[in-house]
């Protein structure tokens, strides 16, 4: 059983803990934690049998802690990952991994040098329907991939108040990208491969808290396929990915509802059972630490996702100019 500490105990940190705590099947349990506002979570931590420590350094010095799970502000990730690696702790880090390619590369290098497992929390990789789409790409049902469409929106940014770290534009560049959109960028990379070039427009049409609410991207994949993507930070929730190929197209909405239409023959409409993808990703992390299958998000793809995000920010700042992804 992997003994972990949760760093950052806001809404999402608690969600991660609750997905596995008390279940031996996941292979991980949280024994310690650290947060900026311990008074807000003291009762909850006691209920979950989590010891609250007063600093990240104290967590890294704790011999009982074998791994850290980072649900912290984006700008802290690289420094925290590197410190954990140097302390010999395995690391699960929430997305975005970091906000620039150089720091992502430094974090990966530190983990490799220390021989610790690094896992990035792109939980939609664990959807059964996504595994089916990858199989369709591999067995030719979609044919030559021509175009990908992605969309991930929700109204969360309307609730960001002054003083909240997510309300800081440096933590939330391009509106919904940090909280939502980066997941769909990873999905597009997972399904269609590296992204070679992006063109981005990002603006605030409704929000008045300093953040963008509408971000849209046109991209070209290294394969030659094209893609479009949007994330809206002040709109009803929407999650959708669609792939169009020479032999068929497939669309997945809300994680579980799939439609497939081939060029010839019968297609299908299929609903998949709901999956606890937070539990699945933490279990995969624990299994990788235990010497099982490698965590199913290669470090090179994690770095590439950061590079795409960084390039999107540069393109938007240049008012939509096309930018090659490094």
Same domain as 224, residue 95? no
Query: Which one of 89, 123, 157 terminates a domain?
Result: 123
Cα-based angle 105, 184, 134 (whole degrees, multiple of 5):
95
Same domain as 159, residue 94? no
* Cis amide leading into 107 (omega within 30): no
Query: Which one of 68, 88, 123 terminates a domain?
Result: 123
pLDDT at position 309 is: 97
What whole-number percentage of the chain has pLDDT above 90? 91
Q: Work out the burial of residue 211: count CB atoms within 10 Å of its CB; fewer than 13 is exposed, 13-18 middle, 19 or more buried.
A: buried
| pLDDT, tens digit (0-9, with 9 covering 90-100), for 14-29 | 999 999 999 889 999 9
**Coil/strand/helix, residue 248:** strand
Cα 131 from Cα 153, distance rounded (Å): 23
Does residue 163 register a pLDDT over 80? Answer: no
The CATH number that applies at residue 62 is 3.40.50.720
pLDDT at position 157 is: 83
Same domain as 218, residue 84? no
pLDDT at position 320 is: 80
Same domain as 286, residue 167? yes
How confident is the prediction for the chain on average, in pLDDT? 96
pLDDT at position 35 is: 96
pLDDT at position 276 is: 97
Please name the residue ranges forming H helices in 62-100: 77-86
Same domain as 151, residue 78? no
Same domain as 139, residue 177? yes
Same domain as 145, residue 101? no
Same domain as 133, residue 119? no
pLDDT at position 159 is: 80
Confidence of residue 161 (pLDDT cuts 50, 70, 90): confident
At 217, phi and psi to the nearest 5? -135, 140
pLDDT at position 158 is: 80
Query: Which one of 93, 123, 153 terminates a domain?
Result: 123
pLDDT at position 291 is: 98
What whole-number percentage of the chain has pLDDT above 70? 100
| pLDDT, tens digit (0-9, with 9 covering 90-100), for 257-307 | 999 999 999 999 999 999 999 999 999 999 999 999 999 999 999 999 999
pLDDT at position 162 is: 79
- Name all contacts of 101-109 with Cβ < 8 Å and 24+ positions apart: 101/303, 101/306, 101/307, 101/310, 101/326, 103/77, 103/78, 103/306, 104/78, 104/302, 104/303, 104/306, 104/307, 105/303, 106/78, 106/82, 107/77, 107/78, 107/81, 107/82, 108/299, 108/302, 108/303
pLDDT at position 311 is: 97
Does residue 58 register a pLDDT over 80? Answer: yes
pLDDT at position 154 is: 96
Q: Which residues contact 7 (CB under 8 A, 6 or more apart)?
A: 13, 33, 34, 35, 56, 59, 68, 69, 70, 71, 72, 80
pLDDT at position 165 is: 80
| pLDDT, tens digit (0-9, with 9 covering 90-100), for 231-262 | 999 999 999 999 999 999 999 999 999 999 99
Q: Please state the rounded mean pLDDT for residues 135-151.
A: 98
For residue 171, the enclosing domain spans 124-324
Task: Quote the number of domains for the chain.
Answer: 2
Same domain as 146, residue 294? yes
pLDDT at position 29 is: 98
pLDDT at position 160 is: 83
The CATH number that applies at residue 144 is 3.30.360.10
Same domain as 168, residue 91? no
At 47, phi and psi to the nearest 5? -60, -35
Same domain as 303, residue 174? yes
**Coil/strand/helix, residue 284:** helix
Same domain as 114, residue 238? no
């Amino acid at each position: 059983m992997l003994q972990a500490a949760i760093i950052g105990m806001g809404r999402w940190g608690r969600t991660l803990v609750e997905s596995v705590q008390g279940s031996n099947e996941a292979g991980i349990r949280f024994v310690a934690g650290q947060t900026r506002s311990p008074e807000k979570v003291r009762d909850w931590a006691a209920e979950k049998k989590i010891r609250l420590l007063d600093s990240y350094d104290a967590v890294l010095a704790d011999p009982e802690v074998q791994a850290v799970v980072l649900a912290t502000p984006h700008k802290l990730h690289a420094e925290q990952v590197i410190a954990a690696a140097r302390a010999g702790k395995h690391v699960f880090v929430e997305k975005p991994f970091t906000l620039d390619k150089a720091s992502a590369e430094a974090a990966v290098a530190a983990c490799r040098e220390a021989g610790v497992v690094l896992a990035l929390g792109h939980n939609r990789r664990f959807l059964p329907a996504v595994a089916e789409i990858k199989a369709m790409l591999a067995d030719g049902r979609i044919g030559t991939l021509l175009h990908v469409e992605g969309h991930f929106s929700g109204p969360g940014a309307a609730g960001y108040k002054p003083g909240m770290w997510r309300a800081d534009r440096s933590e939330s560049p391009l509106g919904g990208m940090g909280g939502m959109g980066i997941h769909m960028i990873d999905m597009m990379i997972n399904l269609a491969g590296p992204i070679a070039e992006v063109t981005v427009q990002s603006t605030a049409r409704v929000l008045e808290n300093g953040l963008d609410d509408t971000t849209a991207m046109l991209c070209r994949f290294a394969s030659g396929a094209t893609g479009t993507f949007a994330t809206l930070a002040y709109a009803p929730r929407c999650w959708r990915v669609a792939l169009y190929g020479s032999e068929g197209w497939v669309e997945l909405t809300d994680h579980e509802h799939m439609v497939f239409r081939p060029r010839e023959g019968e297609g299908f409409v299929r609903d998949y059972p709901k999956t606890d993808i937070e539990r699945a990703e933490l279990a995969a992390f624990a299994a990788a630490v235990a010497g099982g299958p490698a965590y199913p998000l290669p470090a090179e793809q994690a770095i590439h996702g950061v590079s795409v995000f960084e390039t999107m920010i540069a393109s938007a700042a240049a008012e939509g100019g096309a930018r090659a992804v490094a």
